[in-house]
Amino acid sequence: MSHDDTTSFESLSEADARAAHTEMAAALHAHNEAYYQDDAPVVSDAEYDALFHRLVALEDAFPILRTEDSPTQRVGAAPAHGFAKVQHAIPMLSLGNAFDDEDVGEFLTRIRRFLSIGEDETVEIVGEPKIDGLSVSLRYEGGVFVRGATRGDGAEGEDITANLRTIGDIPETLAGDAPDIAEIRGEVYLPKSAFNELNQTQEENGAKIFANPRNAAAGSLRQMDSSITAQRPLRMFAYSWGELSADVADSQWGFLQRVSDWGFQKNPISRLCRSLEEVLALYRDIGEQRASLDYDIDGVVYKVNQIDLQRRLGFVSRAPRWAIAHKFPAEQATTTLNGIDIQVGRTGSLTPVARLEPVTVGGVVVSNATLHNEDEIARKDVRIGDTVIIQRAGDVIPQVVRPILEKRPSEARTYTFPTSCPVCGSEAVRDVDEAVRRCTGGLICSAQSVERLKHFVSRNAFDIEGLGAKNITAFHADDLVNGPADVFRLAEKRETLLEREGWGEQSVDNLLAAIDERRNIELDRFIYALGIRQIGQATARLLARTYGTVEAWRTAMSEAQDRDGEAYQDLLNIDGIGVSVAEDLLAFVHEDHNRQVLDDLEALLDIAAFEAPQSDSAFSGKTIVFTGTLEKMTRSEAKARAETLGAKVSGSVSSKTDLVVAGPGAGSKAKKAAELDIETIDEDEWIARSEA
């Protein structure tokens, strides 16, 4: 019988059921391998999902077939496969970090400065332990839980509703006073005690041992079969919200109370603080409790309590100005430095990487750590053969802290930093004011071109499904993809792709379809994908916002090559772009080869014009200059508000300025605006219009 028919499994003989099971299990194993190991799925997510569920149904009918090695019993490594994608109605934010008391003091000072709040006024701060788990967003409609998703990249996560429904801390319905639409966010975690028990059972069953509770929680949440998730005692603390059809509180503290009335858990050791001293005392207090808590935490999150102040403070990039994570010190371990290798980055930077005797730090086995640059090696006097202290904090790359001199063996040898690129042999040079040595090979350096390609297809850039770092490296090595535009010409090499081991008709067609899907790209992503030095996501966005279209951006960049011209001045006028960034940008665009890449990509792609947020606002696309003293809001707040309304903020008045907001003491800029007949308003008028 065909195993497409799930309804008739009961009528099968055991022998037929076994045969069907063997066939489906083999197919799923092959799909898993293609997806996880080869980075080259051969079936769509929906097909995979359907096959998986047919196998579950077959095993329900013949439980004897549910053996340990069945694909339905897979634990751990996440089948990202199979989960539908969910766009978050409101992005899930990340948090800036504070590493010491001084950083926290500066955070509070920034808030006061931004809001123009004096030292004599209290700014309430809520401190909550930062749970080391997985962030999720739970959507309730009409008080009923309808969808739950992972954070994903903040904009798009995965639909794990069925698995989240198995968690007792997630109520199925909310009390009648909940708004019609309510998205509640928080952290799912596996208690330490449950983690230890789980690993014991895993060991007894010869199954995968999890490195830490976070990995175990991730593996448990990303099961295709929610009955496995249900066996893991996952828990959740609620701490934030996404879309709400009505306000639920006017403070973070009030929000926590409200959601706890609805049946969510609020963390019991969170506290409302009224001063820097109280905040720091809470940090120390939570730090002391850390070991005895039944969940892992990696710091304390501080949030401005008043929600109207949070709104005024807004965001920088993807992190709120009104919150910060105060991290606990990094975990450290001691091991031997076996050697130093050099990694060449996409901009040619030579980074020394310590090869270590593997050691467990904070639950993770570490065998490589960064040594940053040659000055760091010299400053720390790290020698090959040394016993070294290493540390890792959160998801950052482990670092070598220092050697233990008392343990230095007599044969320990100093490392001589290369002055030529270990990959292409070109000279590697250091600018006087730079710590980094760079390969001068440019285009001929294969390490640089492969790193650029990896960046080009990475998640925040073109994000092509099935074309991750592994495949792009292999395609580059085999001359299939030499530069970014070749990615979009891969269809011409279909036959060659088909000859590759592990690639069948379906996987090649899936890849080509995924590439085609990305021929439409937003301008800011496009600029970011180019991998220009110092042009990260935020700067790429600034450029996209300023120039609007790829044509306008390129024209402006070519005009800006004249350092005395207006276009160069306009570039420097963009708040957030200084001379150093401008010079890297212009150097990139000046190179013939890069211009050719841009021409090719423009011909192959459809690069969407930047859509300013709130395009319905009266300020959308306008260029505004603030000058003189603002009395009711700080300059930063005014600027943030203008940008939220879709305007560009410039530092100088020119014929491109649309509006000048002039406070008392405005001098030459207001004068120039009058000469150029540019509309000039005062602060009250600005507030009235921007709040309209």
Contact 340, 353 (CB under 8 A): yes
Please name the amino acid found at residue 551: E
Task: Choose which of 320, 352, 398, 646 interacts with ligand 5U1 (CB under 6 A).
Answer: 320
Specify whether 85 is catalytic.
no
Contact 560, 568 (CB under 8 A): yes
Residues 426-465, one symbol each (x = binds ligand 5U1 by CB under 6 A, - = not), give: ----------------------------------------
DSSP annotation string for 190-234? --HHHHHHHHHHHHHTT-PPPSSHHHHHHHHHT-SSHHHHHTS--
Nearest to 511 by CA among 493, 524, 529: 493
Task: Choose which of 39, 128, 451, 683 interacts with ligand 5U1 (CB under 6 A).
Answer: 128
Residues 175-204, one symbol each (x = binds ligand 5U1 by CB under 6 A, - = not), give: ------------x-----------------
Q: Give me the phi and psi of 522, to 5 degrees please.
A: -75, 150
382 binds ligand 5U1 (CB under 6 A): no
Contact 237, 266 (CB under 8 A): yes
The rounded distance, in Å, linking the Cα atoms of 178 and 243 is 13
Contact 351, 342 (CB under 8 A): yes
Q: Tokens 């990094």 appear where? A: 330
Task: Choose which of 137, 150, 163, 240 interacts with ligand 5U1 (CB under 6 A).
Answer: 240
303 binds ligand 5U1 (CB under 6 A): yes
Nearest to 86 by CA among 171, 180, 154: 154
Contact 312, 147 (CB under 8 A): no
Least distance to ligand 5U1, CB of residue 613, Å: 18
Least distance to ligand 5U1, CB of residue 196, Å: 24
Stretch in the footprint of ligand 5U1 (CB under 6 A) among 12-20, 127-135, 277-285, 514-522: 127-135
Least distance to ligand 5U1, CB of residue 162, Å: 24
Stretch in the footprint of ligand 5U1 (CB under 6 A) among 128-136, 410-418, 438-446, 480-488: 128-136
Least distance to ligand 5U1, CB of residue 319, Å: 8
321 binds ligand 5U1 (CB under 6 A): no
Residues 8-37 binding ligand 5U1 (CB under 6 A) are: none
Residue from 130, 303, 454, 669 carrying the catalytic annotation: 130
CA 282-235-194 angle, 5° bins: 100
Q: Where are the beta strands (DSSP E) in 305-456?
A: 315-316, 319-320, 323-327, 331-344, 350-361, 364-370, 387-392, 399-403, 428-430, 437-439
Both tokens assigned to 275: 């001063």
Least distance to ligand 5U1, CB of residue 678, Å: 38
Nearer to ligand 5U1, 187 or 374 (CB): 187
Least distance to ligand 5U1, CB of residue 93, Å: 5
Nearer to ligand 5U1, 135 or 448 (CB): 135
Q: Is 410 helix (H, G, I), strand (E, B) or coil?
A: coil
Residues 135-174 binding ligand 5U1 (CB under 6 A) are: 135
Least distance to ligand 5U1, CB of residue 324, Å: 9
Structural element, H or E, at residue 111: helix 101-115
CB within 8 Å of 411: residues ≥ 6 apart: 385
Task: Choose which of 55, 301, 527, 661 interacts with ligand 5U1 (CB under 6 A).
Answer: 301
The rounded distance, in Å, linking the Cα atoms of 637 and 478 is 52
126 binds ligand 5U1 (CB under 6 A): no
Least distance to ligand 5U1, CB of residue 145, Å: 20
Task: Choose which of 130, 266, 346, 383 interacts with ligand 5U1 (CB under 6 A).
Answer: 130
Residues 89-118, one symbol each (x = binds ligand 5U1 by CB under 6 A, - = not), give: ----x-x-----------------------
323 binds ligand 5U1 (CB under 6 A): yes
Residues 607-666 binding ligand 5U1 (CB under 6 A) are: none
The rounded distance, in Å, linking the Cα atoms of 429 and 438 is 5
Least distance to ligand 5U1, CB of residue 300, Å: 8
Nearer to ligand 5U1, 238 or 480 (CB): 238
Nearer to ligand 5U1, 43 or 167 (CB): 167
The rounded distance, in Å, linking the Cα atoms of 555 and 547 is 9
Task: Choose which of 239, 283, 328, 528 interacts with ligand 5U1 (CB under 6 A).
Answer: 239
Both tokens assigned to 322: 């009104």
Number of residues that bind ligand 5U1 (CB under 6 A): 12
Least distance to ligand 5U1, CB of residue 186, Å: 8
Q: Where are the beta strands (DSSP E) in 91-200?
A: 97-98, 125-131, 134-141, 144-150, 156-158, 181-189
DSSP annotation string for 528-539? HHT--TT--HHH
Nearer to ligand 5U1, 239 or 503 (CB): 239
CA distances (Å), origin 555, targets 184, 546, 551, 559, 561: 45, 13, 6, 6, 10
Active site residues: 130
Residues of this chain that bind ligand 5U1 (CB under 6 A): 93, 95, 128, 130, 135, 187, 239-240, 301, 303, 320, 323
